[in-house]
Structure 1
Amino acid sequence: MILKFDIQESIKGIWEKLGGWLDTLILNLPNFLLAIIVFIAFIFIARYAGKLFDRVFRKQIKQDSIRLMAVKVLKAIIILIGFFIALGLLNLDKVLTSVLAGAGVVGLAIGLALQGTLNNTFSGVILSFLPELQIGDWVETNGYAGSVTEINLRNIVIKQSDNNYVVIPNSKIVEEPFKNFTRTARSRIFVNCGVGYESNLEMVEKLTLETIRDNFPQRGNEEVEFMYTGFGDSSINYVVRFWADVTKNRDILVAQHKAIIEIKKAYDAQGVNIPFPIRTIDFKNSLNLNKE
């Protein structure tokens, strides 16, 4: 009899527990359905937001890998927001707190383990929105010069003038200065030269300025500048500065090449001497053989 009574009490306790669970489920059923609807709605919002931002990013980011990664990150953030809101509707505050704490710990561990990789990744996202650096630009950075052929989430790839490729981590580009020739259509060219000490300096200045102006038309406020810089061992040295169309390093070399040829032609026609280094050796007869 005692055993039968214990079984009945156990069954009664189970039914009461199940009844309590059923009552709780019925009471929370509206919130549960609302949480599901909210979460599904955020999934659809993330999908359409991803398409919208993909169109926007397509105009700003030329590199497909960075654009797709940015869209995926955005969609994941929207879905996570919907997940947390759904948990809040279910009154699972403790679960939400535990999830956030766990996510923080996991995120910290991953961040420490992938510190260098994440640095390059975030630097790649920054570079993708940086108007001063685009695919096809000719840049000088970290001791290398070339055309940018690729920008991804880890590095940029530069094709040098010798047809070799250089891979540079994104963090190096963000932290170090770089020079972009393509961002400006015109740049100033410097040509250094020297003339003999017997030259008419005023005539040389006038001749050089006329030669450069005839071969390199200046625009707007641009002008050709000529300045003597010092007395050399065999010549009086000067620098002439002028503007030309430059979008890469080769354009500078081409402009200097043309300027040197034209200046040499003009000097030859007017008899202006461009001296080469001269060494004078003075022999003194300190030994007099005829001395008594």
Structure 2
Amino acid sequence: MDTNAVVAVQNDTSSLMEQVQTIGLEWGVKIITFLLVIIIGMWIAKVIKNFVVKLMQKRDVDPTLTSFLASLLHFALKAFVVIAALEKLNVKTASFIAVLGAAGLAIGLALQGSLANFAAGVLMILFKPIKLGDFVEAGGAMGGVEEIGIFTTILKSPDNKKLIVPNSAVMSGVITNFNANGTRRIEIVAGIGYDDDIDKAKKTLEDIIAADDRILKDPAPQIALSEMADSSVNFVVRPWVEAADYWGVYFDTSEAIKKKFDENGISIPYPQRDVHIYEHKDG
């Protein structure tokens, strides 16, 4: 082979290797920079979110509003970090954003549920049908409100389950807020036998209610004979309590009724039916 040709091939190979090394080094730096921007940016976004949450808590901002705005801020910061990182890879973010804008209608149609959840979340913040710490029944679930996010509401069930309910489901149905008014009325039905002393039974129920300091004086508790049923004469017992005391008073009062009725010889009848047998004699 001609010496000049050999030298030319060697020069071309050397030049190609230099170009590959240059491109590899250049993209290596870009990729490393991209990863650093993502990692550091996400960390900074989390720090900013936590800082804003603490600042709003110090200023006694509504916890529900704090939770919602923190979720929204964190989402926006993450989007900003991703766009900033893409610029390090020479991605034309302006064109990228323009393409997203052009595709906005299609994305909106595809994400109707998510947009509805976001809109419902905004309405929940504005009108405040529920707030953090409330015990509610909404969207087919029941539990304490732990978080109101931009798309979902997180409830904690009485048996410690985590319930994630779409915001649109919460706002589209009936919302039962059990402790929004601060107080709740308990209703217990206490049945006695038809042969028992009605006045004695009512006095016993009144004493039970009066002995519990958790029961409110105003509104006054109600004890009344409500029904003469098939097997019993039923009293309805309706004391008012603070929302936090509801179940404690309910269980304790039910137990106290049974014990006091036993002590005072007042029966709690079982369901029963009188059967009359007639003998038919032929002839």
What TM-score, normalized by structure 2, do the two folds share?
A: 0.62
CA deviations 1:196-250 (Å, max 9, x no partner) are: 1112222322221221121245445321101222211111112110012223xxx
Structure 1 gap ranges (5+)? 1-50, 73-101
Structure 1 residue runs of 4 or more that deviate by more than 4 Å after TM superposition: 54-58, 69-72, 102-110
Q: Report the alpha carbon displacement of residue 103 of structure 1 after superposing the two structures with TM.
A: 11
Q: 1:222 aligns with which of 219, 222, 233?
A: 219
Cα distance in 1 for partners of 2:222, 2:137 equals 26
What is the root-mean-square deviation of aligned Cα atoms in Å?
A: 3.3
**Pairing 1:122–2:116 present:** no
Does structure 2 retain, via aligned residues, the 8 Å contact 1:216–1:244?
no
Does structure 1 retain, via aligned residues, the 8 Å contact 2:56–2:66?
no
Letter of the 2:71 counterpart: I
**Pairing 1:241–2:245 present:** no
Q: 1:269 aligns with which of 238, 247, 263?
A: 263
Cα distance in 2 for partners of 1:206, 1:199 equals 13
Cα distance in 2 for partners of 1:116, 1:275 equals 54
Cα distance in 2 for partners of 1:213, 1:143 equals 37
**Pairing 1:207–2:201 present:** no
2:158 equivalent in structure 1: 161
Q: Please show how residues 47-58 of structure 1 align to structure 2 within 5 Å.
A: none
Q: Secondary structure at the match of 1:116?
A: helix
Cα distance in 1 for partners of 2:197, 2:241 equals 28
Task: Name the larger-Rg structure.
Answer: 1
Cα distance in 1 for partners of 2:129, 2:174 equals 12
Cα distance in 2 for partners of 1:134, 1:270 equals 46
Cα distance in 2 for partners of 1:182, 1:138 equals 6
Q: Secondary structure at the match of 1:215?
A: coil
Does structure 1 retain, via aligned residues, the 8 Å contact 2:141–2:165?
no
Q: Please show how residues 1-292 of structure 1 align to structure 2 within 5 Å.
A: 59-60=61-62, 61-63=65-67, 65-68=70-73, 108-219=105-216, 221-247=218-244, 251-287=245-281
Q: Report the alpha carbon displacement of residue 254 of structure 1 after superposing the two structures with TM.
A: 2.7
Q: Secondary structure at the match of 1:124?
A: helix
Q: Report the alpha carbon displacement of residue 174 of structure 1 after superposing the two structures with TM.
A: 1.4
Cα distance in 2 for partners of 1:183, 1:259 equals 24
Does structure 2 retain, via aligned residues, the 8 Å contact 1:209–1:224?
no
Q: Report the alpha carbon displacement of residue 189 of structure 1 after superposing the two structures with TM.
A: 0.5
Does structure 2 retain, via aligned residues, the 8 Å contact 1:62–1:135?
no
Cα distance in 1 for partners of 2:128, 2:236 equals 34
Structure 1 275/165 Cα, relative in aligned 2: closer, same or farther at 3 Å?
A: same
Letter of the 2:235 counterpart: Y
Q: Secondary structure at the match of 1:62?
A: helix
Cα distance in 2 for partners of 1:208, 1:258 equals 13
Letter of the 1:279 counterpart: R
Structure 2 gap ranges (5+)? 1-50, 78-98
Q: Secondary structure at the match of 1:205?
A: helix
Cα distance in 1 for partners of 2:214, 2:56 equals 41
Structure 1 69/124 Cα, relative in aligned 2: closer, same or farther at 3 Å?
A: farther
What TM-score, normalized by structure 1, do the two folds share?
A: 0.60
CA deviations 1:155-214 (Å, max 9, x no partner) are: 112121222222211011112121223433321110012111112222322221221121
Question: Percent identity of the aligned residues?
Answer: 29
Cα distance in 2 for partners of 1:220, 1:287 equals 64
CA deviations 1:6-31 (Å, max 9, x no partner) are: xxxxxxxxxxxxxxxxxxxxxxxxxx
Does structure 1 retain, via aligned residues, the 8 Å contact 2:154–2:163?
yes
Q: Report the alpha carbon displacement of residue 56 of structure 1 after superposing the two structures with TM.
A: 6.3
Letter of the 2:66 counterpart: K
Q: Report the alpha carbon displacement of residue 114 of structure 1 after superposing the two structures with TM.
A: 2.6
Structure 1 219/254 Cα, relative in aligned 2: closer, same or farther at 3 Å?
A: closer
Cα distance in 2 for partners of 1:221, 1:174 equals 33
Q: Report the alpha carbon displacement of residue 70 of structure 1 after superposing the two structures with TM.
A: 9.2
Q: Report the alpha carbon displacement of residue 122 of structure 1 after superposing the two structures with TM.
A: 1.6
Cα distance in 2 for partners of 1:282, 1:218 equals 46
Cα distance in 1 for partners of 2:261, 2:252 equals 14
Cα distance in 2 for partners of 1:192, 1:140 equals 24
Q: Secondary structure at the match of 1:226?
A: strand
Q: Secondary structure at the match of 1:221?
A: coil
